[in-house]
Amino acid sequence: MHHTVVERELELRLILSPERSIPVAALLSYHTDDPYAIHITFHINSDHPVDWTFARELLVEGVFRACGHGDVRVWPAKAGGRSVVLMALSSPDGDALLEAPTPQVSAWLERTLRAVPPGTEGEQLGIDEALDQLLAQ
């Protein structure tokens, strides 16, 4: 089975306070062999990038309305007259509030949805083929 990767480099903003934010380079990745998840790699001033993985559905819904709870929450907002998507990420190492431009995030999400339409994710996992092979033995 052929697998596809859909990537997009993007500059996000790490919100430090209502008046202050700093740019953060990020790589958004979607792998058709992991069809339910998206991966975001943040390139910060450290030896190693910071990786987050969460449900694609969470980001898709978060472009339109507030969703999520716990470690990942996503919601639409306006910042300086621009449409943005806010992502609140929490871990034992700390919390971060990130702002992403909605048009770029939406365009990338559309590419992932074309690669694997909603509702067809399970077909990408090859479970039926693996089960057929197992039962054929």
Distance from the first to the final alpha carbon of the chain? 21
Q: pLDDT confidence of 1, banded at 50, 70, 90?
A: low
Distance CA 28, CA 2 (A): 20
pLDDT digits (tens, 9 = 90+) for 16-52: 998 999 999 999 999 999 999 999 999 877 778 889 9
pLDDT digits (tens, 9 = 90+) for 72-97: 999 999 988 999 999 999 998 889 99
Residues 84, 102: contact at Cβ < 8 Å? yes
Q: pLDDT confidence of 8, banded at 50, 70, 90?
A: very high
